[in-house]
Structure 1
């Protein structure tokens, strides 16, 4: 790829940003091939126009709907824990039976300084314990100055308003630095009501409020850098329309210490992390009423050691050793006066532990002037365990056995400790066709061990089982201690072309997954008594599955003259997933998606007209009673103008106010509880929203 031709485009233009997130193919070779790695870095550290999800969607990530700041990423048809998400290098675990606090909920778009997305065939050095890929985002990087004394380097204030949900977003940041020291703060606050759909109706229980803070301190000399980051998050409430429960409190703190040192023969990086969270679920709004508290306390502890060295013939060797431990206590306090939810606290996971110790080696080497190779192997030893549990009570109800009490006895009598040995291997080959074109082949064997909820969710009653699950489908879930790790055999083929006025990339991927953690139906229930009120009781189980898909993207510079730069960008993605035994669809596979954008850049003025089309979803998971959805299209328009130190952003999302149901949205349990006669309707997407943003850099 010829970087000089790409860099000729204005570095802050929409076309450049589109190419940055589209053509992110790392290249490493000899003098005839440059190393070019675009990681989707956000050029404006005070973004007022986009959310974190919107930024990552430009990089090929889909999202399964959840709360306003807690949507779960989907890559190559796989969601949740199958994707490794790193925040400033920290491995953070979702500490909730519904995964209401996933890693990406701990950072906002205004705090983001860089992001990298590697789907499918990701290098072993990027992270283990995943089969779908790696998302790595950073809140800030040390920014030193040339002065010997501390001086003010800059700051920002930003704000945004979105009419569709009456959302207010505020961000602030500041940097003070010298040649040896750097201090940086970034914070954000967001408050939103429940949004309206394309019919003008309120989509119940989609309101939320959150704040995030990151304070970093860094020191360096000629050969080493030490960075300390302190993070804090507070979410007093967050509605989850597609879950039976809501978030009523989420407080977390984190410490991230990173050390880097240059040696004559290589580079050493050492990182130590801690992240703790206190999480509560319950009910807080009249839009979804109920009484039931659920409390979770959890901690992540980890360290990461890496050595990078140039060895023979320009080859780069990477060696690493990692340790990660996750501990969690999940209990549901007894409800006073309730015969069913008392007199004991329901102990869901007691002193749960998940320990991973890993080591990897990776070699990247140019083979010829046109061929490049990367080869890596990783070993992980994963141990999970949990202590005895208890149900609310041992009483029978109307002569029926207490299935939760019996399940607790069986769980406590079982051998709960499980150990898994995982081997990952990745091979990547890249061929430089000419200065402008390249083709890459990748093959990976990747593994993921079950999470604690997949193994240790033991309740069999309707109430207990419906508290488990991050799928937004209204079904109940039961764990299985005997679950095996998932093993994915993934191959990919990528082609990219980068010419002076247009760029194109395409990728095909195929994954054969042994012991994919899916579900089997072990019962059903109907709380409404109506024909459309049936849901299934599901148990996690291993099946073999196959997933494949294609992604195409292109960008072209149409004109560059006195009228400014006009460019056109397009994307298309398609994926397919099914169980091997019966060829039935897997859950939440995205339908065909296309996007076309006309972009304009004139000096400090940038504008975009965007059209999105999502095809109908007819292949649905029968086990989870997944709903089909109709096709739809959306039109969005936005403009941004820089005046001195001010940036003004204006946008209209869903310009035509189309009503649509989200294919990956799950069902609206809030609507079901308000009116069960309509059954489990798919969650509707937002209607038209007028957005305005203002930021000031000083």
Structure 2
């Protein structure tokens, strides 16, 4: 790790602090309520990760009820969160406080693919502008997925556990998950195990969706110990993904072996002072290819990409009361390393040293003040971040036989590949209590994002886009500068009788937005044209504007009938040319009615969900993006609490077997399937699922 980053961060660590998170647990393995101390509760939204209700392997389907959030999907285990028109690396995702550094440059092992459910696991989205304490580079928002240690320490003493199973047809989908937990007066130990598999998925017209298979298993161990004012918490997780399809990308997953760990420590000096330190890391081995699960055009075009990644980090925070609020100071240090080598199993001489010893070192410090009074609640924060990146030498066996490739290698290897970005984030949000039942929410921020390693260091034109999957080859640009987004938000939180209504309007102007523009590199253009028949794009700094709105409505229609509604709309444009941003989700309205009743004297809940998506005609002409039609789906589900320990869930998704193509679902890249190459991948047709859960 580079000394300048480490020295800056460690010197600040001695005087830093953090926003503390508290869970209010139940006495059993049940859903818990999460509250962010010092941050207005009206500014956060949450969902619970429940293994018996997911229809996608990576649990991305459980998050779409959060306002402004949608999923961009390239395969069954490759969910990329899109929030208010921004997705991929622009949206921060942490799992139990660990920021995952994926091995695949096309986000096949996206952060959501690393989620393994355990009791009380919640996904908390900072609605709108995330506070600076939420993490580094939260330009596109932040999603925290965690089961916090405070809740586990508060569990009842003794042993308890649960078993969950679910089966879905068609496609022979199976999921098994178990948890075990033991607590004493000052310690706990927990374990979780998961197995998932599916053969295929079918669309509404009974057409098999290409390469919709997956196979995964994983385990997680966790332990905690309290000694007076000291609290220790350690976690280790391993998750193995075997052959799984990614039809929107040029390759499929052969395997992903992923592991992450975290050691947490808290010291409560007094009731109003808290020191937290967290050491974490993850290690991923990932192989993808274009021949195990699909047929390459010729044996000479068979490719295998061996990738690996390592991440290590430490953060320290200190929180104390200040005046009428809470002051939080913090420091974060992270080190990432990535490698990638492309080979051909039919040609032992062929190789491309795609990314070699690519390193990214980040040092960041922040200060945040949360203040509350009888008339308002505010969060004010500033964060300073430095990101340093570097890369090793490029190489390929094709240098001796192709002058254009030799030019690309020589140009890259002779260039100064060491780059740095210095960024200042500022965020201010206020909830003003206008009346007893109405809050006015205002927010303004400046957030930044440094270029990813593939945006800078892709020296050979390849289809590497971080999961954008537009089908074009891309080449990197060493002199890219960081993105700077300035965002404004205004909204209301209104409550009356048994109803709450919460609308938001937002506007975001992004300076130096990184996207693809036609390449002017003659050598890269020659290579790309030879390989794919068309010139590549090059990552470029431009400008962009994203604006939109989202609204949530919740309430009780009667004593046993409730309604929950989430509507979202976003519109994105480039400023340098008259063109839309690529793969932006259309307007969406999700409405759920829930009826609470009894069945054989046991509680039962019946749900009807309507999912409406609008037509997306505002598409990127430069990237040959296709328009998509709107659609409407109906889903039914029922939950029966047979006994306090036993629960049965049945569901029918897409009840009317509607054929549709989600705009964020990508296009097919696989030949000789029921879906033509270049056509939109269809969504799943009617699926029936039965789940069983037992607590002991």
Flag whether TM exceeds 0.5 (same fold). Answer: yes
Q: How far off is 1:675 after superposition?
A: 8.0
Partner residue, 2:202 = 196
CA contact (8 A) 1:97 1:469 kept: yes
CA contact (8 A) 1:248 1:284 kept: no
Cα 1:558–1:106, aligned 2, differ >3 Å: closer, same or farther? Answer: same
Q: How far off is 1:405 after superposition?
A: 2.8
Unmatched 5+ stretches in structure 1: 1-9
Partner residue, 1:619 = 618
Q: How far off is 1:288 after superposition?
A: 4.6
Partner residue, 2:569 = 574
- Partner Cα separation in structure 1 for residue 604 and residue 140 of structure 2: 38
Q: How far off is 1:619 after superposition?
A: 1.1
- Partner Cα separation in structure 2 for residue 260 and residue 330 of structure 1: 38
Partner residue, 1:6 = none
Partner residue, 1:4 = none
1:372 to 377, 386, 394: 377
CA contact (8 A) 2:45 2:127 kept: no
- Partner Cα separation in structure 1 for residue 640 and residue 548 of structure 2: 38
Partner residue, 2:333 = 323
Query: Is the partner of 2:395 in helix, strand or coil?
Result: coil
- CA-based RMSD: 2.7
- Partner Cα separation in structure 2 for residue 652 and residue 615 of structure 1: 23
Q: 1:574-607: CA deviations, max 9, x gaps?
A: 1000011223100111111112222111252111
1:493 to 490, 495, 515: 490
Q: 1:285-304: CA deviations, max 9, x gaps?
A: 55455732111111000001
Q: How far off is 1:546 after superposition?
A: 0.3
Matched, 1:590 2:598: no
- Aligned residues, how many? 650
Query: Is the partner of 1:345 in helix, strand or coil?
Result: strand
Partner residue, 1:541 = 540
Query: Is the partner of 1:160 in helix, strand or coil?
Result: strand
- Partner Cα separation in structure 1 for residue 207 and residue 145 of structure 2: 35
TM alignment of 1:598-677, pairs within 5 A: 598-603=593-598, 604-644=603-643, 645-670=645-670, 672=671, 674=673
- Partner Cα separation in structure 1 for residue 672 and residue 92 of structure 2: 34
Q: How far off is 1:475 after superposition?
A: 1.4
Q: How far off is 1:516 after superposition?
A: 0.4
Cα 1:177–1:378, aligned 2, differ >3 Å: closer, same or farther? Answer: same
Matched, 1:453 2:454: yes
Query: Is the partner of 2:657 in helix, strand or coil?
Result: coil
Cα 1:581–1:35, aligned 2, differ >3 Å: closer, same or farther? Answer: closer
Q: How far off is 1:256 after superposition?
A: 0.2
Matched, 1:98 2:96: no
Q: How far off is 1:345 after superposition?
A: 2.6
CA contact (8 A) 1:27 1:36 kept: no
Cα 1:488–1:467, aligned 2, differ >3 Å: closer, same or farther? Answer: closer
Partner residue, 2:23 = none
- Partner Cα separation in structure 1 for residue 218 and residue 71 of structure 2: 21
- Partner Cα separation in structure 2 for residue 484 and residue 146 of structure 1: 48
Matched, 1:121 2:129: yes
CA contact (8 A) 1:83 1:130 kept: yes
- Partner Cα separation in structure 1 for residue 440 and residue 499 of structure 2: 17
Partner residue, 1:232 = 238
Matched, 1:691 2:689: yes
Q: Which moved more, 1:194-203 or 1:105-114?
A: 105-114
1:210 to 216, 224, 235: 216
Cα 1:663–1:181, aligned 2, differ >3 Å: closer, same or farther? Answer: same
- Partner Cα separation in structure 2 for residue 100 and residue 390 of structure 1: 24
Cα 1:50–1:223, aligned 2, differ >3 Å: closer, same or farther? Answer: farther
Query: Is the partner of 1:263 in helix, strand or coil?
Result: strand
- Partner Cα separation in structure 2 for residue 269 and residue 306 of structure 1: 5
Unmatched 5+ stretches in structure 2: 1-25, 520-524
Q: How far off is 1:387 after superposition?
A: 0.9
Partner residue, 2:6 = none
Partner residue, 2:18 = none
Cα 1:157–1:591, aligned 2, differ >3 Å: closer, same or farther? Answer: same
Q: How far off is 1:492 after superposition?
A: 0.7
Matched, 1:274 2:272: no
CA contact (8 A) 1:524 1:534 kept: no
Partner residue, 1:414 = 415
Q: 1:551-594: CA deviations, max 9, x gaps?
A: 0121221111xxxx111222221100001122310011111111
Q: How far off is 1:236 after superposition?
A: 1.2
CA contact (8 A) 1:77 1:547 kept: yes
- Partner Cα separation in structure 1 for residue 202 and residue 294 of structure 2: 13
Q: How far off is 1:191 after superposition?
A: 0.3
TM alignment of 1:133-282, pairs within 5 A: 133-139=141-147, 141=149, 143-144=152-153, 152-264=158-270, 265-282=272-289
Cα 1:303–1:371, aligned 2, differ >3 Å: closer, same or farther? Answer: same
Q: How far off is 1:426 after superposition?
A: 0.6
CA contact (8 A) 1:445 1:488 kept: yes
Partner residue, 2:513 = 516
